[in-house]
Structure 1
Amino acid sequence: MKKESEHLLLTPDQMGTADRLTIQKGVPEFELMQNAGQVVADYILTYFAPCAVGVLCGPGNNGGDGFVVARLLRDAGWSVKLTFQGAREKLGDAARKHLDLWGTDDSPVNDVLADSELLVEALFGAGLDRDVTGTFAELIKRMNRTHKPIVAIDMPSGIDGATGEVRGRAVRALASVSFFRLKPGHFLLPGKSYCGNVHLGQIGILESVLPRIDAQLWYNGPDLWTMPPYEAGGHKYSRGHCLVLSGDELSGGAARLCAMAALRSGAGLVSLFGERGALVAQAPHVTEIMLKPEPLDELLKDERNNCLVLGPGAGANAKLRDRVLAAIAAKRACVLDADALTAFAGDPKALFDHIKRYGGDKIVLTPHDGEFARLFAGLDLAAGKVEKVRQAAHMSGAQVLLKGADTVIGAPDGRVVINANAPAILATAGSGDVLAGIIGGMLARGMSGFDAACAGAFIHGAAAQQFGKEGLIASDIMAELPDMLMAMSE
């Protein structure tokens, strides 16, 4: 996986460290605050027509950024009113100086809310470390009830920048303007739905401070991974053979979707395997997919069969457990989904020990929330989504992809990626089976487990976006895959 720093996400604490290290290297805090306000003002000047603006500032540096925005918009000829909710003596030096430069008395909240066409929210930003209550909670409630466009500085106040959780009450912004690096809360639900359009600007924080912070969280995108190229002298087996376990005669659709997605994702060959009766039921529905009634131990003797997808529609039984353990022991790349996870809910240690013993760098677990809770019952499930996936990957020794509108992917070494391009129309039967197949296809082609999971999640979401209308069904995602793969390979 490529560690492209542009995709790096910083928690509020890490962002505070970046600020502090930059100031220690000689960049004045006053200058950073001035630059932050300039980025926000430039955004407003670019995307809004001149209008009456109300700027609502809190008692910290987020409020200091707001003082700068108010002054710059006023200097640009806009009508601006500012209200400061806090004590001047509690402001830091840089924020106090910028309040002095504003110069005029602040306006009553009632006037700011009533007389403004656009609100700039600078109460707390991402640095919030407690629930919003009392006067500030009431102010946020009143701001939201105006139904006026709100531009939030850094992060809508009330959203935890590290977890995306709502802390008491939160501002619903039309846009959020952040600095240096985005925060996890810009991508994690429910925070993502409060942020509106997210814009990132640079304010003079030094790139050289990033190695000191050692962040291990990114938002997903093609810059993080590389699609395996098609070699001019290659052949079907050089692109891998993916085996997908079929469900029984009445439960074969999930595996069929999965197999077709793996083939569309570029695996050289894809076969459904399983009980003969199940494959006979599959036969009228597949052409390019092969059918393998051979026992799994025979299939695993052929080294060219380099990847397996186990679980979709398979039935959570002892036989499935044995197949999963056999595939891992054979050191094959595996996607374990659905029933393959549920089958180990009573004894996850048996699965995790096997993964760690035989090497889990190409083992991908793809649970939804319920499967995750059953498989990782020993974790603190109240922790933020990023941290619980990071812990799960470490506990299992596998790559863990926790599915959702804000899918989170973790590796055992602590790396985590948030995938946030999935449209709501993806919530349809079979969508997860297609995702498992895409990841299987990437593994068959030789990608690492973590890269395959990240690429699969992104391509899956991008294909649904490309379809772009209501009525999406799982097979529609597959129809979009060739165009998506071509775009990712350019």
Structure 2
Amino acid sequence: MHEAFAERDVCRAVGILRRQDGQTCANAAYAAAQALLRIIRRVRGKVSGSSVLVLAGPGENGRISLSAGTFLARRGVRVKAVTGENTHPCAAPPPEGYISRFRLPDSDVLRKLAEEADVWVDGIFGSGILGEIREPYRTWLKTLRDVRSARAGHYPPPAVAVDLPSGISADGTVHSGYVLPASYTVALGCFRPAHLLPAVNAAEEKDFFGEVILADTGIMHTLRAIHAEPAVRRVGRGDVRGVLTVPTPSDNKYSRGVLGLCTGSKRYPGAGYLSAGAALKTGVGMLCYLGGSPQMPLKYPEAVMGGKNCDAYVIGCGITDREYLRRAYRKAVRAGVPAVLDAEAIPACAGLTGNVPTLLTAHQGELVKLYAACGQWITLSQIRRNPQRAAAEAARMTGAAVLLKGFVTVIAAPGGELYAQADAPTWLAAAGTGDVLAGIAGSLLACAAARAKRETGMCSRAKAEADSLPAKIAACAVFLHSSAASRAARVKTHSPSSFGNPISAGDIIGELPETVYRILSSKEAAFSE
């Protein structure tokens, strides 16, 4: 699991390390240089003879970038550094002959340097930025953006951000319209919330960070020592493997988890078929179908029509009758079992949540409806500007875990925990994929609830574990969903040359068994590990 820490905790840990040995910046520069060497080798196939352009700002990020450039030069890399009028007072000038340094170059000189380089290093500003980027740094970024646009069809040099792309603060707030989106980001020591969460106040939803590479500076040990709590989490392969339930010789269809599916209708039968297929392919022991898709026995003869004593419910996909949805959810509440609410069930059951562990799987439009059902007002623009805040407030209002779908999917728990899952292919933006996600989440929730009931006999500890289930289950479901979609689309994460192919919701279902197998057998690396 990746864990991101708030900037105040990181600064506290850095201060402790600085008092202990005074080598914090040197360690960060060496770690950044090692990450840059791996990136250069990936881009060029070799290190010696490669060309790197370093943009160094006036602060500590500039100091670290210049020092990292010196390490690279000693390995045979041709390093050219662009600096402003002032550099960090502790930044020693690089040894003579190692780095070619250009102080306050004009746009034409910078453009020529950028076009000649194999890799760009953005070390202008880091987590300390609080306002708009000033000159000359704004012109530098604009020039590099222009060079990238001019070479869009010819694979321009990748930009590597040191710690954070200049213009974005540690919490993910975009302070400038001149941010240069990075192909790679080298996170120094630990992840910040910005590395995992969607950007805040961005004009459009985009990936500013590219592939985030963690460079070990020794700070994680200090963060653990001061008992710093992660601000954001992202699950990986190991976490999903811990949630997936492998049957034992003593298991039967009931002990493996029974899922009640209140999805699909005559008007929208496909939602029922997709959610059922996803649940069955994820590993639930028994599926009780309580929806209205007329051909369910023909599509999935293994599904039981009707049923009771379910371990979890999925309610809402493809059903518009709000009274029916409320009755279905009240059934789950009376049984005391967790539920996944999707689509129209989210606003329909807004005033009923909080009594059993519940997961709301919403897109931005459904979150607007949820706020309205709770007597609050929010616009799509406000959600896009700060999705994590919108999801966290919705979780607080409803007492349910809220999954907000997007380029980065955010999951907020009522207790304040925050998960952020990324790396899904853009081909996933297709009709029916949300129904597949609801089925996956319901299956994992039913299996986990059945396991908790079996192992602890529904004691108080089991109830505490069940209350914390939906948020982590949701994150694991998104990971499975994204992994299966990436397999179907033949997309390799963060590869600029891997465009993939179109997929449908059914393609994701078809890839689920192989995805589960590879996660359980450790034959496929996690996208976030």
The two structures have a TM-score, normalised by structure 2, of: 0.79
The change in CA–CA distance for 1:171 and 1:306 in structure 2 (over 3 A counts) is same
Partner residue of 2:27? 32
The CA deviation at 1:401 is: 1.1
- Provide Cα deviations, 1:404-459, integer angstroms capped at 9, x if missing partner: 22111122222211111211111111100010001111111125323321221110
Would the aligned equivalents of 1:22 and 1:209 in 2 still touch at CA under 8 Å? no
The CA deviation at 1:27 is: 4.3
Select between 136-145 and 23-32 the one with higher mean Cα deviation.
23-32
The change in CA–CA distance for 1:265 and 1:44 in structure 2 (over 3 A counts) is closer
Select 2:234's aligned residue among 219, 233, 236. Answer: 219
Partner residue of 1:72? 71
Partner residue of 2:367? 372
Would the aligned equivalents of 2:259 and 2:314 in 1 still touch at CA under 8 Å? yes
The CA deviation at 1:73 is: 2.9
Partner residue of 1:296? none
Would the aligned equivalents of 2:110 and 2:143 in 1 still touch at CA under 8 Å? no
Partner residue of 2:408? 406
The change in CA–CA distance for 1:307 and 1:212 in structure 2 (over 3 A counts) is closer
Partner residue of 1:84? 83
Question: What is the CA–CA distance in structure 2 between the aligned matches of 1:173 and 1:129, rounded to whole Å?
Answer: 20
Question: What is the CA–CA distance in structure 2 between the aligned matches of 1:441 and 1:192, rounded to whole Å?
Answer: 31
Q: What is the CA RMSD across the aligned residues, in angstroms?
A: 2.7
Question: What is the CA–CA distance in structure 2 between the aligned matches of 1:80 and 1:415, rounded to whole Å?
Answer: 43
Q: For 1:320, give the aligned amino acid.
A: L
Q: For 2:235, give the aligned amino acid.
A: N
The CA deviation at 1:214 is: 1.4
**Number of residue pairs the alignment of both structures matches:** 459
Would the aligned equivalents of 1:379 and 1:388 in 2 still touch at CA under 8 Å? no
Would the aligned equivalents of 1:164 and 1:187 in 2 still touch at CA under 8 Å? no
Would the aligned equivalents of 1:248 and 1:314 in 2 still touch at CA under 8 Å? yes
Question: What is the CA–CA distance in structure 2 between the aligned matches of 1:245 and 1:208, rounded to whole Å?
Answer: 48
2:356 corresponds to 1:359: yes
Partner residue of 1:266? 283
Partner residue of 1:22? 17
Q: For 2:33, give the aligned amino acid.
A: Q
The CA deviation at 1:121 is: 1.6
Question: What is the CA–CA distance in structure 2 between the aligned matches of 1:22 and 1:392, rounded to whole Å?
Answer: 38
Q: For 1:219, give the aligned amino acid.
A: R
Unaligned 5+ runs, structure 2: 149-155, 200-204, 450-468, 491-499, 522-529
Select between 419-428 and 102-111 the one with higher mean Cα deviation.
102-111
Partner residue of 1:384? 386
Partner residue of 2:246? 229
Would the aligned equivalents of 2:430 and 2:504 in 1 still touch at CA under 8 Å? yes
Select 1:452's aligned residue among 457, 473, 484. Answer: 473
The change in CA–CA distance for 1:106 and 1:248 in structure 2 (over 3 A counts) is closer
Question: What is the CA–CA distance in structure 2 between the aligned matches of 1:103 and 1:428, rounded to whole Å?
Answer: 49
SS at match of 2:55: strand
Question: What is the CA–CA distance in structure 2 between the aligned matches of 1:103 and 1:175, rounded to whole Å?
Answer: 22
SS at match of 1:109: coil
Question: What is the CA–CA distance in structure 2 between the aligned matches of 1:366 and 1:68, rounded to whole Å?
Answer: 46
Question: What is the CA–CA distance in structure 2 between the aligned matches of 1:172 and 1:30, rounded to whole Å?
Answer: 25
Question: What is the CA–CA distance in structure 2 between the aligned matches of 1:61 and 1:156, rounded to whole Å?
Answer: 14
The two structures have a TM-score, normalised by structure 1, of: 0.85
Q: For 2:124, give the aligned amino acid.
A: L
2:326 corresponds to 1:330: no
Would the aligned equivalents of 2:25 and 2:64 in 1 still touch at CA under 8 Å? no
The CA deviation at 1:342 is: 3.0
The CA deviation at 1:112 is: 4.2
Select between 145-154 and 473-482 the one with higher mean Cα deviation.
145-154
Question: What is the CA–CA distance in structure 1 between the aligned matches of 2:433 and 2:371, rounded to whole Å?
Answer: 23
Q: For 2:213, give the aligned amino acid.
A: H
Partner residue of 2:259? 242
Question: What is the CA–CA distance in structure 1 between the aligned matches of 2:218 and 2:299, rounded to whole Å?
Answer: 59
Question: What is the CA–CA distance in structure 2 between the aligned matches of 1:21 and 1:97, rounded to whole Å?
Answer: 23
Select 1:488's aligned residue among 493, 500, 519. Answer: 519
Question: What is the CA–CA distance in structure 2 between the aligned matches of 1:247 and 1:46, rounded to whole Å?
Answer: 51
Q: For 1:28, give the aligned amino acid.
A: Q
Partner residue of 2:59? 60
Would the aligned equivalents of 1:334 and 1:364 in 2 still touch at CA under 8 Å? yes
The change in CA–CA distance for 1:54 and 1:455 in structure 2 (over 3 A counts) is closer
Select 2:505's aligned residue among 462, 474, 477. Answer: 474
Question: What is the CA–CA distance in structure 1 between the aligned matches of 2:507 and 2:101, rounded to whole Å?
Answer: 59
Select between 29-38 and 422-431 the one with higher mean Cα deviation.
29-38
The CA deviation at 1:45 is: 5.1
SS at match of 1:129: coil
Alignment of 1:274-353 (within 5 A): 274=291, 278=292, 280-292=294-306, 302-303=308-309, 305-344=310-349, 348=350, 350-352=351-353
Partner residue of 2:41? 46
Would the aligned equivalents of 1:54 and 1:112 in 2 still touch at CA under 8 Å? no
Partner residue of 1:295? none
Q: For 1:449, give the aligned amino acid.
A: P
Select between 256-265 and 208-217 the one with higher mean Cα deviation.
208-217
The CA deviation at 1:80 is: 2.7
Question: What is the CA–CA distance in structure 1 between the aligned matches of 2:62 and 2:230, rounded to whole Å?
Answer: 26
Runs of 4+ in structure 1 over 6 Å off: 99-104
Partner residue of 2:461? none
- Provide Cα deviations, 1:70-117, integer angstroms capped at 9, x if missing partner: 3223333433322222434xx353xx3366898986444243441341
The change in CA–CA distance for 1:222 and 1:84 in structure 2 (over 3 A counts) is same
Would the aligned equivalents of 2:73 and 2:99 in 1 still touch at CA under 8 Å? no
- Provide Cα deviations, 1:328-386, integer angstroms capped at 9, x if missing partner: 23212211000101324xxx3x224xx2xx332xx111011111122135487467333
The CA deviation at 1:198 is: 2.6
The change in CA–CA distance for 1:41 and 1:405 in structure 2 (over 3 A counts) is closer
Q: For 1:218, give the aligned amino acid.
A: R
Would the aligned equivalents of 2:162 and 2:188 in 1 still touch at CA under 8 Å? no
Would the aligned equivalents of 2:9 and 2:223 in 1 still touch at CA under 8 Å? no
